[in-house]
Structure 1
């Protein structure tokens, strides 16, 4: 798992700058671990110019998907069996591009991952537990965002 020693809690807050986000992550590390020594924002964590993240969320309809997102199982996503009070649990793929066109640092990856999910309901699973490489058959490397409660 990548970044599995980093504590973070996803929320609905959209961070406008990576500097603001970096400060929030650093402070969160200090709150949880009493130190931020494991948070290395400039460390390259994915040596790809583009990748996909996969995560679970609850959405009311497809309008909540961002421009760079698709549903993994679009046919059954809004099936009545998958509904709970008008919300549907779905698996989402988000296409991310590295700002430098080469690779993702820990800061850029977590910043983009956080903001990608900010407009969605994550239920009880808001605590970041790292990433796992996914075995989806796609052109781009795909990483599952592991979250716990």
Structure 2
């Protein structure tokens, strides 16, 4: 099915399901339905594949914290222990060499940002969050290359998400709630790290 819509409507209507030139695999709760979607912004028409209702690792139990895991194997072992079972950590979930992670956190200064991180909004102003002891609530973006330079496994994706947030505070939302597919920026797909209380 090909549908002509403008980009703003597509992102609003299909939030979390737009797949920009990549393949998502996993254990969906419902069978995914593949559709062809043509985005037409007036000058350029692009075709994307859309997967509907495909959760990204939202069935994995994990709580982000300050502990650092020096290897993927060490991290996978700990996630398996927390979940009391093996999980499909080696399954390829993103067939793309580079991904932009997007997430919210509390920081005390810009010095806490890692070299690969920057504020998601260029015009962002650091305003203290009144409920977080003077910390700044920010939206962060980090572009990361896959270890094998071709794709990301489920384990690598979650390990990177944990590592990026290990030196930051997440307030009362430290629990991993899955990944959501976001918009594509400069040809790099964006994945939002969602958290819960």
Q: Same fold (TM over 0.5)?
A: yes
Q: Distance in 2 between matches of 1:143 and 1:27?
A: 26
Distance 1:138 1:91 in 2: 18
How much has 1:72 moved relative to structure 2?
Answer: 1.3
TM superposition shift of 1:136: 5.8
- How far residue 45 of structure 1 moved from its aligned partner, in angstroms, is 0.8
Could you say what the CA RMSD is over the residues aligned between the two structures, in angstroms?
Answer: 1.5
Are the aligned partners of 1:71 and 1:77 in contact in 2 as well (CA < 8 Å)?
no
Larger gyration radius, structure 1 or structure 2: 2
Distance 2:81 2:133 in 1: 36
Taking structure 1 as reference, are residues 86 and 74 closer, same or farther at Cα in structure 2, changes over 3 Å only? farther
Q: Which residue of 2 aligns with 1:120?
A: 168
Give the alignment partner of residue 100 of structure 1, picking from 143, 148, 170.
148
Contact 2:62 2:79 in 1 (8 A): yes
**In 2, Cα distance between the equivalents of 1:140 and 1:76?**
21
Structure 1, unpaired ranges of 5+: 31-35
Q: Distance in 1 between matches of 2:122 and 2:138?
A: 9
- Which residue of the partner structure matches residue 26 of structure 1? 80
Q: TM-score, normalised by structure 2?
A: 0.68
Residue in 2 that maps onto 1:33: none
Q: 1:72 aligns with which of 117, 120, 124?
A: 120
What count of residue pairs does the alignment treat as equivalent?
A: 142
Which of structure 1's runs of 4+ aligned residues deviate more than 2 A?
73-77, 82-86, 135-139
Distance 1:133 1:23, change over 3 A: same
SS of residue paired to 1:135: strand
Does residue 87 (structure 1) correspond to residue 135 (structure 2)? The answer is yes
CA distance in 1, matches of 2:155, 2:100: 16
Which residue does 1:63 correspond to in 2? 111
Unaligned 5+ segments in structure 2 are: 1-54
Q: Any conservation in 1 of the 2:64–2:162 contact (CA below 8 Å)?
A: yes
Q: Report if the CA contact (8 A) 1:77-1:89 is conserved.
A: no
Which residue in the other structure is 2:47 paired with?
none
**Cα separation, 1, equivalents of 2:185 and 2:69:** 32
Q: Which has the higher contact order (CA 8 A, sep 6+)?
A: 1
Partner of 2:181: 133
* Structure 1 residue 110 corresponds to structure 2 residue 164: no
